[in-house]
Each structure stands twice: as structure tokens, then as C-alpha cells.
Amino acid sequence: MSKTYYTEDHEWLTVDGGVATVGITEYAQEQLGDIVFVEAAEVGKQIKKGDTAVVVESVKAASDVYAPVDGEIVEANDALSSDPALVNSAATGNGWLWKMKLADEGQLIGLMDEAAYKTHIG
């Protein structure tokens, strides 16, 4: 059974069987505006919590998207290279950014659930 977590930096991750699908929240994409470019995640790269995993560029600004936990990137969302606006239309669906194999599921304890995230963004 999958479970979704949120970070203070407005990333979401849905964990299923030790693999997390990661993206930015609806709130984050609304703040960024129209997404015009998404740098593909580097498959095979080992990343630590807080490392920049991808860069998302909008008409307003470029924004780093950070790894919410430690792990290895196992898949990039290749659809975003030809259609970066998927992040705007489906930020928590087909607009996911990368998938990663978790190094330490214990790191999930420090993340927020949906109710806590909604309180966080006010």
C-alpha cells in the first residue's frame, strides 16, 4: 500500500515497496507559474536528503527541487522533456519528476502527511 508524504520545500513523495515517486506540490507549481523546462533527473545517481535532484524552470524563475530523503534515482519522467507543462496540469499525477529507491525508510518519519502540509501552507 502506498503512502504520500510532504516536505517543507513543497515536494511530495508517494512511497510504495521501498520506491518513492517524487514531484512538486500543487501549491509549488502555482507559485512557479507556467513550467517551461524540467531538467531530467540523473538515473543511477546517489542523492542525499537536501541535494538538488532536478531544476524546474518557469516563466518566473528557475527553482531547485530537492531530494526529500536519501536514495538512488531509478527513473526520470521522460515525458517532461517534451511536455514540461505536465507539471502544471498534473503536478501530483503524470507530472511527477523522478522515482528513487529509498536508502533509509526511517527518514520518512520527519515528513508531513497531507493534513500537516495543508496547515503548513496555511
Write out pLDDT tens, residues 66-84. Answer: 999 999 999 999 999 999 9
| Beta strand spans in 30-116 (E) | 35-38, 46-47, 52-58, 62-66, 71-76, 98-102
Residue (of 69, 60, 52) closest to 12 by Cα position: 69
pTM > 0.75? yes
Q: Do residues 102 and 47 make contact, with C-beta atoms less than 8 angstroms apart?
A: no
**Three-class SS state of 80:** helix
Tell me if the domain spanning 3-105 has CATH number 3.40.50.10890: no
Confidence of residue 1 (pLDDT cuts 50, 70, 90): confident
The average pLDDT across 26-45 equals 96
Beta-bridged to residue 64, according to DSSP, are 55
Confidence of residue 9 (pLDDT cuts 50, 70, 90): very high
